[in-house]
């Protein structure tokens, strides 16, 4: 395509925003910008989960509208990323391609190959860090190694990382006309027959991210350190899917919390949670094998059980432990689960049922709208005791006491396990201990309306500790 105007392709992946988008800002320096999203099932080494596709569908629609208003319509393509990028370069005569860096091992390797190929053909490639607080691989120990413990990593991060200047994105852009683009309806990212997403929480898109941040600052931030552990209240930021899809910069979220009128200690706690997310991304960059293997190799010798019935009961929220079942039902209905409950349900699967953490990670990958490979793998391994800076394996959450401590009034269980809604709070988290008359008053018959526990926690705890000793881990309890 002969033209005197310069053209840049903006390759969007998980940076679905206009503000604080360094790749967009760089592309907009050209005379014409061609934003493209390529649905490439092989990009991350595994297909996206169904809940993630639901969120992506809405987020892309929102971004397409925003880009259309700016004068640069979003081009949608499906297929091999490199092939589609090359086709666009040929069709537009683009001399530059800009994108923001991904940390997933397969994506990073593929990006490197694409960059090398494009540059060999004379196309300039610019890669930016718009998804993390710092470029993975740059926060190093004094011996130039990766951090394996969170606190020193976070200390080094805050010393080394500098927030980039806030940008709102270009006011207007020009693009290339008559480019072929897929119809997003043809991608069928939204589920049908049946539509299991009707109760999903959240509003995908950059405006949705801004609204979620505002609600957090106006409501939950003042009591965040304690309130974030109570699943029955709106005590968390609910920003995780927005951060995963790049609908808001992590720097902007932290700065907004610190600039608010809320207590500084609460904003610092929120920043530390974003830094934990960052820690996971940096670990995945330096230890890509952790996706499939235990970070601490001895844990790959764990004598995991094959228990198809137990796994299915866990997935469906039918374990007989109300706080576990409430979490798993929230996940299925809403595509999201409260953070404290994520730890409880993960501990139950790994330690009460002695089922491999990879089974749980795969289920979360498919059912969470905020499914993030680095976070997902790191957090599952944290609970399993096999990860970096992980909880020791002998820390086994008791699902009854966890429910009583963090859902004392029973609001969370009553919402997601309605068959127990009339049961007195004294028995709510252990209904099998309730007197017959209490169950009768609540119209609950165990085994009919609600299952009996599929495992005895005390016995399961002993079994888990015996399994730990068999692998020779230093975590084994005396």
**How does pLDDT run across 330-340, given as a tens digit for each residue?**
999 999 999 99
Query: Under a CB-based contact definition with an 8 Å cutoff, are residues 419 and 450 in contact?
Result: yes
Question: Which CATH number does the domain housing residue 47 bear?
Answer: 3.40.50.620
H helix or E strand, kind and range, residue 402:
helix 399-406
pLDDT for the residue numbered 475: 66
Give the span between the Cα atoms of 145 and 165, in whole angstroms. 29
Among 251, 286, 321, the domain-final residue is: 286
266, 360: one domain: no
pLDDT of residue 192: 84
Q: Does 249 share its domain with 363?
A: no
User: Which among 226, 254, 286 is the end of a domain?
Assistant: 286
Give the distance from CA 459 to its chain's centroid.
33
Domain co-membership, 359 together with 210: no
181: in domain? no
Q: Is residue 228 part of a domain?
A: yes
Separation between Cα atoms, residue 464 and residue 62, nearest integer Å: 47
User: What one-character-per-residue DSSP string does 64-110 give?
Assistant: HHHHHHHT-PPEEEES-HHHHHHHHHHHHT-SEEEEEPP-SHHHHHH
pLDDT for position 41 = 83
Selecting among 255, 276, 404, 419, the annotated active-site residue is 276
Tokens of 287: 């230890």
| Domain end point (choices 104, 130, 156) | 130
Entry pTM:
0.95
Contact 162, 133 (CB under 8 A): no
List 11, 314, 357, 363, catalytic entry: 357
CA distance 25 to 218: 30
Q: And the tokens for 317?
A: 């929220």
**Residue 365 designated active-site:** no
Neighbours of 308 (CB within 10 A): 8
Residue 182 falls within a domain, yes or no?
no
Catalytic annotation present for 357: yes
Active site residue 336: no
What pLDDT is attached to residue 297? 93
The question of whether 245 is a catalytic residue gets the answer no
State both tokens at 320: 């007989």
Q: Which of 55, 365, 380, 382 is catalytic?
A: 380
The answer on 309 and 268 residing in a single domain is no
Q: Is 304 noted as a catalytic residue in this protein?
A: yes
Q: Which pLDDT value is given to residue 43?
A: 76
Question: Annotated catalytic residue: which of 304, 404, 419, 432?
Answer: 304
pLDDT value, residue 390: 86
Peptide bond into 338 cis (omega under 30): no
Total domain count for the chain?
3
From 84, 104, 247, 273, active-site residue: 273
Shared-domain flag, residues 32 and 152? no
* pLDDT at 478 (0 to 100): 36
Q: What domain range includes position 265?
A: 132-164+206-286
Residue 361 annotated in active site: no
- Spatial distance between the Cα atoms of 153 and 280, rounded to a whole number of angstroms: 11
Is 328 in the same domain as 252? Answer: no
**Residue 3 has what pLDDT?**
54
Same domain, 280 and 304: no
Residue 201 lies in a domain: no
Q: With a cut of 70, list the residues of the chain below it in pLDDT.
A: 1-4, 472-478
């Amino acid at each position: 395509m002969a033209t005197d105007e310069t053209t840049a392709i903006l390759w969007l992946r998980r940076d679905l925003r206009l503000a604080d988008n360094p790749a967009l800002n760089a592309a907009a320096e050209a005379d014409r910008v061609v934003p493209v999203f390529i649905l490439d099932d092989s990009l991350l080494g595994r297909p996206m989960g169904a809940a993630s596709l639901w969120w992506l569908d809405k987020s892309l629609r929102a971004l397409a509208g925003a880009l259309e208003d700016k004068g640069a319509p979003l081009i949608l393509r499906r297929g091999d990323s490199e092939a589609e990028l090359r086709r666009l370069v040929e069709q537009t005569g683009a001399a530059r391609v800009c994108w923001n860096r991904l940390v997933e091992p397969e994506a990073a390797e593929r990006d490197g190959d694409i960059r090398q190929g494009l540059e060999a053909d004379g196309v300039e490639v610019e890669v930016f860090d718009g998804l993390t607080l710092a470029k993975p691989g740059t926060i190093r120990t004094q011996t130039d190694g990766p951090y394996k413990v969170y606190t020193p990593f976070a200390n080094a991060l805050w010393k080394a990382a500098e927030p980039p200047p806030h940008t709102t994105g270009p006011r207007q852009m020009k693009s290339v006309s008559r480019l072929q683009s897929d119809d997003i309806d043809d991608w069928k990212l939204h589920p049908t027959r049946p539509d299991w997403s009707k109760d999903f929480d959240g509003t995908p898109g950059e405006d949705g991210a801004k609204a979620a941040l505002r609600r957090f600052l106006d409501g939950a931030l003042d009591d965040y350190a304690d309130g974030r552990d109570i699943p029955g209240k709106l005590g968390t930021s609910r920003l995780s899917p927005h951060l995963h899809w790049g609908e808001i910069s992590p720097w902007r979220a932290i700065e907004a919390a610190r600039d608010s009128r809320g207590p500084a200690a609460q904003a610092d706690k929120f920043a530390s949670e974003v830094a934990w997310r960052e820690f996971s991304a940096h670990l995945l960059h330096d230890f890509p094998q952790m996706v499939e293997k235990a970070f601490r190799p001895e844990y790959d010798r764990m004598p995991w059980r094959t228990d198809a019935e137990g796994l299915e009961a866990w997935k469906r929220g039918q374990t007989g432990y109300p706080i576990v079942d409430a979490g798993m039902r929230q996940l299925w209905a809403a595509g999201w689960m409260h953070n404290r409950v994520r730890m409880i349900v993960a501990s139950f699967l790994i330690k009460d049922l002695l089922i491999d953490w990879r089974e749980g990670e795969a289920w979360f990958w498919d059912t969470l709208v905020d499914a993030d490979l680095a976070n997902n793998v790191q957090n599952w391994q944290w609970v399993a005791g096999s990860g970096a800076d992980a909880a020791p394996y002998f820390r086994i959450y008791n699902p009854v006491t966890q429910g009583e401590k963090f859902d004392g009034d029973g609001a969370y269980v009553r919402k997601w396990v309605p068959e127990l809604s009339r049961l007195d709070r004294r028995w709510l988290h252990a209904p099998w201990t309730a007197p017959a008359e209490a169950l009768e008053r609540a119209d609950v018959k165990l085994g009919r309306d609600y299952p009996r526990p599929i495992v005895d926690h005390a016995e399961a705890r002993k079994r888990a500790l015996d399994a730990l000793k068999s692998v020779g881990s230093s975590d084994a309890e005396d």
